[in-house]
Each structure stands twice: as C-alpha cells, then as structure tokens.
Amino acid sequence: MPASSILPLSLRRVGFRIDGRTIIDDVSVDIGAGPSTILLGANGAGKSVLMRLMHGLLAPTSGSVAWSDRDPERQRRLQAMVFQRPVLLRRSALANVAYALKVARVPRPERERLAAEALESVGLLHLANRPARVLSGGEQQRLALARAWALHPEVLFLDEPTASLDPSATREIERVIQAFDAAGTKIIMATHNLGQARRVGDEVLFIHHGRLVERAAMDHFFAQPASAEAAAFIKGELPWT
Amino acid sequence: MGAFADAARSAWGLIATGDAALLDIVGLSLAVSLSAVACATVVGLPLGAALAIGRFPGRRAIVILLNALMGLPPVVVGLAVYLMLSRAGPLGAFGLLFTPGAMVIAQTILVLPIIAALCRQAVDDAWAEYEEQLRSLGASGFGAALTLVWDIRFSLLTAILAGLGRASAEVGAVMIVGGNIDGVTRVMTTAIALETSKGDLPLALALGGVLILLVIALNAVAHVVKDAAQRRYG
C-alpha cells in the first residue's frame, strides 16, 4: 500500500464542450478519501463524461482536474475504472487480469498470484482458465472488477456497472463493490438507479444538465433534497426502484 | 459440350496421374503467391494498424489512397515493375527480370494495399471498442496497438485471405515481369492463358480446376481455423 494518498481529487470550474454543445458546465468539487461517492442523475445528465474527466480519459475544455499527488505515474496506477460494458481481451479470465498487471509493470512471477487473488475476491477463481469472452454478462463484469482491483487502486471509478445486467447479477456486483469499499478502496460510481445509490453510496453528487446541482449525505439527500431538480428526479425515479 | 467433356476427362487424367509438368506449375504458383502474401502481410498489418491508431497529418489522404490502390490493375503494376527491373531500369543491376523473384515483387505490390486497407478497417473498428479500456489500464501507443492486433488476429486472417485470392488469381503482372518461361516462371494463370490460346484445352482446364480447388481448400482451412478460434475465445 502506498505511503501517501493521491486523494483528494480537485475539480476547479471544469467545463467540457464538444461540437458547440456544453456537456459539463462549471463543476467545482473536492472528493476526498472515505465515503463512497455516487454521481447521480438522469441519462444524458453528463455523469459518464464527468467521470471520464476525473479519470483522465477526457481532458476538460476549461478548468482543471488535479490530484493531490502530482506524479502522473502514481496517479494512473492508483486509479482504475470499470465501464458499463466490459471490454475483455480474447484470452482466459486469468490472463485478462494478468494483462492489466503486465501493463502496470508488475514483475512476471507475481502476476499470476495477484491475478488469482483478484479473481478469488470476485468469486471467479473456478473460471480462471475459461475464455473471458464466453463468460456470462455478470461474470464478465465481475472479471472487469477483478481486473480493476488487481492492483489495489486507491480510487475505483464505476460507470453504471450494472446497467445491462439482470437483478441477480446486479446484486453480485454490488456485493463485490461493497467488499472493495470495506477493504478501503474509494468508490466513485455513476448511476441513475436510486436503489443502487442507496445500497452502495454514502454521499451523492447530483448532476443535472451537466451541472453539479447538489452534494449531500445519502440519507439527507433522499429525506430533504435541497434543489427542485433533485426532488423531481427522486419523485420521478422512485416508482421503478 | 462434347469438347468440354473430352477436355475435362483428359484434365482429370493429368491431375490423377500427378503429371510432372502440372505439379511444377502448381508448385511455383503457390511458392510465388504465398511468398508475396507473406511479404505483404509483414508490411501491411503494421501499416494498417498504424493508420488506424496513429493520428498524424496526411493520414486521411493515405487511407483514401490505400483504399483506391486495392483496385490496382495488375498489368499496370506489371509494367511498372518491368520498367524498374529491366536492364536500363534503376534496379536492373540485380538481374531479377523474368525470375520468380520479380513475380513475387509484383504480386507483393498488388496485395499490399488490400491487406493494409482491410487491416486498417478491422483495427479501426476494434480500436473504437477497446480504446478507453486500454487507456484506463495504462496501455498506449505501440503496446496498445500490438495488444489490439493480437486480439483480433483471427479477423485479420480474412484480410490475408483476400490478398491471397488476389495474388493467386492475377495473370497480368506475373505475365509481364515473369515472361511465362516454361519451367522457370510459368505459373497456373499464365499457363492457362497460353494453353488456351494454343488450343491445349485439357491442360488449361486441369490447371484451372486445380487453381479453383486450391483456393477453395485454403479458404476452407482458414474458415475452420477462424471458426474454432471464435468458439474457443469468443
């Protein structure tokens, strides 16, 4: 485990425009270690783009995204991301995790052991030698979680990780996320699902039309949303959660 | 129809008895075309991958040019290679004209755009799917390109097969730079053209049959490999 943390993550007046459209509009926020953070909002609110700006997959067109640790190598190594649809390589489940370790320059002798540990942590060790692409949707997403977690990142980004999964696979994924959370990994997850936000998260960043409208502790957010947009969103979403 | 049946019967006889002249021609055909495809693959796959993933000025122009070159007329390529390799040409000193080497060069030039352009398309499509994930893991540049090409290797087989089809079927280029010399540079396609004009239809038909069977066999093998890989790796 690293001596110093790359958190907090600081966004200062971050904006993202593409083709004349504003996707993210003037977002400033500090995210520290500790409670799991949920980016909550409707489809198209800009959650995924905001997450990609945080993770460094996109560069902001205005403002700045900064980690407390300025070393780009450590920044990259101590954060990982799981996407809505996992992209797995055409090799075994174990080899997929080992590949991530190889890219991170983990010495070869350690890779297999670490990869097996990561598979164990998501309950996939018995499928280690199965080709990754023939696993079920839920298993593929758990493999993606194992791959992201193999390096024990300090921050784990999750972009709608269960959006294309059935309820039982969703529960499995949430259980894994909660275990990673309990093990001390900072969870930052985007979702539009209120039930999931409540089960997994401790605090909410509510995103609406590319703006950060509200930040609140989870219970407080649901009991007394401060903004009209959040109140409408909770009211509109609840019947389906 | 009677003439065709006679020719077909004689052709079968030539194939069944393993006629030596026939086997020589078939062997040289395979050697030339497979060598050309191997050369074009070694150059074309990295070129295609670089064009798909790289971002540099002039990239679009090169892609358009490459796509256009897929339809290069073999006789024009033959003529150009002929001029380069002829005694007075810039590469005349190597004495390659009218050798199998010259035929490999001409076919490589013909096949290279096909393999590179199809590879670029395949890698381009895959890159759209893989890019964020690979960048998130910290893979970039050459390493990421290599990962990608390896992951879609069985799709790239199709590009290589298209190249092989082109090489084994063309007659114009090998005719001009090889000269269709009996026992030296005579391949299936040039022999078919010659024997037909001479009126030796059985030999022409036998060669034509073998050519088609070979193409089908190679494609069948590639298809089986690809299929098995798909089931194995998803």
Gap from A194 CA to chain B (nearest CA, Å): 26
Asked whether the beta carbons of residue A89 and residue B147 sit closer than 8 angstroms, the reply is: yes
Look at residue A241 in the predicted model and tell me its pLDDT: 44
Look at residue B203 in the predicted model and tell me its pLDDT: 83
Look at residue B1 in the predicted model and tell me its pLDDT: 57
Q: Tell me which residue in B135, B139, B152 faces A57 most closely, judged by beta carbons.
A: B135
SS3 at position B18: coil
Residue B234 touches partner A, C-beta closer than 8 Å: yes
Chain B residues whose beta carbon lies within 8 Å of the beta carbon of residue A57: 132, 135-136
Quick one: pLDDT band at residue B25, thresholds 50, 70, 90? very high
Q: Is residue B5 part of a domain?
A: no
Gap from A137 CA to chain B (nearest CA, Å): 13
Residue B232 touches partner A, C-beta closer than 8 Å: yes
Nearest Cα neighbor of A113 from A130, A100, A94, A132 is: A94
Residue B165: CATH number of its domain: 1.10.3720.10
Q: Tell me which residue in B133, B232, B233 faces A87 most closely, judged by beta carbons.
A: B133
Name the phi and psi angles at A230, rounded to 5. -65, -40
Tell me which amino acid residue A238 is. Answer: L
Asked whether the beta carbons of residue B234 and residue A80 sit closer than 8 angstroms, the reply is: no
Closest residue in chain B to residue A135, using alpha carbons only: B234
Residue B141 touches partner A, C-beta closer than 8 Å: no
Q: Is residue B163 part of a domain?
A: yes
Q: What is each CA distance from A226 to A196, A202, A233, A241, in whole angstroms?
A: 21, 17, 12, 21
Chain B residues whose beta carbon lies within 8 Å of the beta carbon of residue A104: 137-138
Q: Is the pLDDT of residue B186 over 90?
A: yes
Interface of B with A in 98-137 (CB under 8 A): 129-130, 132-133, 135-137
Neighbour tally for B156: CB within 10 Å: 21
Look at residue A1 in the predicted model and tell me its pLDDT: 44
Could you give all domains of chain A from N- to C-terminal order, each with its CATH number? Answer: 35-40+73-201+212-240 (3.40.50.300)
Asked whether the beta carbons of residue B132 and residue A80 sit closer than 8 angstroms, the reply is: no
Chain A residues whose beta carbon lies within 8 Å of the beta carbon of residue B138: 76-77, 103-104
B217's tokens: 């066999």
Chain B residues whose beta carbon lies within 8 Å of the beta carbon of residue A96: none
CA–CA separation, A189 and A176 (whole Å): 13
Closest residue in chain A to residue B135, using alpha carbons only: A57
Residue A83 touches partner B, C-beta closer than 8 Å: yes
Of residues B12 and A205, more confidence is placed in: A205
Interface of B with A in 25-64 (CB under 8 A): none
Gap from B72 CA to chain A (nearest CA, Å): 35
Query: What is the ipTM score, two decimals?
Result: 0.89
Q: Is residue B56 part of a domain?
A: yes
Over residues B44-98, the pLDDT tens digits come to 998 999 899 888 898 999 999 999 999 999 999 999 999 999 988 899 889 899 9
Residue A102 touches partner B, C-beta closer than 8 Å: no
Q: Is residue B130 part of a domain?
A: yes
Chain A residues whose beta carbon lies within 8 Å of the beta carbon of residue B143: 103
Walk along chain A (241 residues) and give the pLDDT tens digit of each residue.
445 788 899 999 999 999 989 999 999 999 999 899 999 998 889 999 999 999 999 999 999 999 988 888 888 889 999 999 999 999 999 999 999 999 999 999 999 999 999 999 999 999 999 999 999 999 999 999 999 999 889 999 999 999 889 999 999 999 999 999 999 999 999 998 999 999 999 999 999 999 999 999 999 998 888 888 899 888 886 544 4
CA–CA separation, B144 and B124 (whole Å): 13
Percent of chain B having pLDDT more than 90? 61
Q: Is residue B207 part of a domain?
A: no
Asked whether the beta carbons of residue A83 and residue B139 sit closer than 8 angstroms, the reply is: no
Q: Is residue B50 part of a domain?
A: yes
Chain A residues whose beta carbon lies within 8 Å of the beta carbon of residue B233: 90-91, 131, 133-134
Chain A residues whose beta carbon lies within 8 Å of the beta carbon of residue B133: 83, 86-87
Q: Is residue B67 part of a domain?
A: yes
Chain B residues whose beta carbon lies within 8 Å of the beta carbon of residue A134: 233-234
Closest residue in chain B to residue A151, using alpha carbons only: B137
Q: Tell me which residue in B132, B143, B151 faces A83 most closely, judged by beta carbons.
A: B132
Q: Is residue B6 part of a domain?
A: no
**Residue ranges in chain B assigned as alpha helix (H):** 2-16, 20-53, 59-69, 74-85, 100-137, 141-151, 153-169, 172-178, 188-198, 201-233
State the residue range of the domain holding B104. 28-193
User: Structurally, how many domains does chain B consist of?
Assistant: 1
Q: What is each CA distance from B114 to A62, A106, A118, B161, B162, in whole angstroms?
A: 43, 39, 43, 10, 7
Contact assessment for residue A7 and residue A58, using Cβ atoms and an 8 Å cutoff: no
Gap from A125 CA to chain B (nearest CA, Å): 18
